[in-house]
Chain A
């Protein structure tokens, strides 16, 4: 896959595999949809604590998540593609997180940022949920307490890879339904 250079320093994304001729380009729908989705993810920031501040740094001018097509934060779960859980999720918060996940439309991805969201982190206490994967399925884990903005960006890139390569039928598959059922989600 080669990139075409328009100007020095600016490149366009690689085009997917396909057949090319005069005036046409043929490829599978999966790949086109994946490519389009990948670069226009609308994240829903579910920031509860420290990692949320690092997320703010990621969004701000220095690290600038907009470079990856994710600058449009969707605070409404209905329109969001990516749920970014950042920070400690207490047991009191658990049902709300789940509700937010349930409200999101398919296809939806989840990234768990920070040690607390991944595993409870240093808070092995009666009030903290020991990892959000106990209530919702997670696609990418970003460790760190808190992770650096570079790490968060790396997590987003991993999600982009998943989005790009996902089959259009995955969400209809039996495995996927079984996985959701395991979490008690319809």
Chain B
């Protein structure tokens, strides 16, 4: 019951059946984030759903038109806040593409490590929440412990937990410290153990399988028509992964499998994410090996006009101070042009469409937000299913409110 409730017109014709209307959201315990769905119900069967979004619309695209390029990174943090580093790096790579920066191999591998850690933390949230919504709270409590470990690694690297603002245009702001490496090594040992426990709790659990198989399915054709991407599209059986299709940050050098499902239902989405976490672990291990082969100490392209110099140099070196000032005040020459770059975010193809007119700020920046695009299929996916299935369908789609509403 709220004032913003969209009105579904009552049909004038007197029908034999009477439908009831149910307001799922905007604040509802079972929706993670702020979404409103007005459901037309026949008993417990959903006949029709009318989603309303925009409850945390923050005008990212307008804000981005007023921010210098390096200041947009904190904005991207707050889009898909479950895997902020991927957003940060996606944005950095977009700008690097625009200005034609060549990134050293070591930096690319370091980015891969950070991005894959972020992917794991994103998928942990989604999968444990599916467990939570089906009544298995234990898994949530188990794996959130591991998520804290990932946060600790991020803290060692950049100082923040959730909204990381990690990296800079041209690389990272500092080298990954030894403490972080130690924590990563420890994580690589501890996580598989905890994750296996989680796996054995849910993956072949009869109750869980009965609950999720066939729940909220979507066919590959419909998924493509709705421009799905990421794990949700792969669960429907389309092996589209940006990391493979248009490799960035040297992903072409890594050996990994793209898991695909067959039915596109909740169980498949869950399983695709489960397998992706294992693949991410393997990518991290490969990347660590690759980093070891590269000359140590390189953490940025260090092109003075575009890359912010390290703070020690700013305080001690005249030239670095000048460049720092120039970058911060927007005196650098950013080329004109229009560029699209996409990365495989936690939820799918996260694209940045950037038009630069050579000024301090982007002329137009559009974020291709995977959540926003695939959430519109939600009414179709839950049509004809039970109310409780609608809830786990939503949690298995991993709709992140910040990304949805931008």
Contacts and interface: CB of A to CB of B under 8 A. Distances in A.
- A touches B (Cβ under 8 A): yes
A92 B55 contact: yes
Interface residues of B, number: 39
B130 to A, nearest CB: 14
Contact of A95 (B3, B74, B144, B161): B3
Q: How large is the interface on A (under 10, 10 to 19, 20 to 34, 35 or more residues)?
A: 20 to 34
B144 A62 contact: yes
A105 interface: no
What's the dominant secondary structure at chain A's contact region?
loop
B2 interface: yes
Interface stretch (A5-13, A47-55, A170-178): A47-55
A95 B81 CA distance: 25
Given A48-B34, A49-B78, A146-B163, A87 B59 contact: no
A88 B56 contact: yes
B29 A48 contact: no
A126 interface: yes
Contact of B74 (A47, A57, A75, A122): A122
Interface string A53-66: 11011001110000
B62 interface: yes
Interface in A8-66: 46-50, 52-54, 56-57, 60-62
A90 B58 contact: yes
Contacts, number: 99
B63 interface: yes
B162 interface: yes
B141 A60 contact: yes
Given A61-B141, A75-B28, A99-B2, A53 B82 contact: yes
Contact of B4 (A50, A52, A95, A125): A95
Contact of B26 (A93, A122, A127): A93
B31 to A, nearest CB: 10
A127 B405 CA distance: 11
A125 B56 contact: no
B217 interface: no
Given A62-B144, A88-B56, A125-B63, 8 more contacts: A48-B401, A56-B125, A57-B147, A90-B56, A92-B57, A122-B75, A125-B62, A146-B163
Interface of A: 46-50, 52-54, 56-57, 60-62, 73, 75, 87-90, 92-93, 95-96, 99-100, 122-123, 125-128, 145-146, 148
Interface of B: 2-4, 26-29, 32-34, 54-59, 62-63, 74-75, 77-78, 81-82, 125, 140-142, 144-145, 147-148, 151, 161-163, 401-402, 405
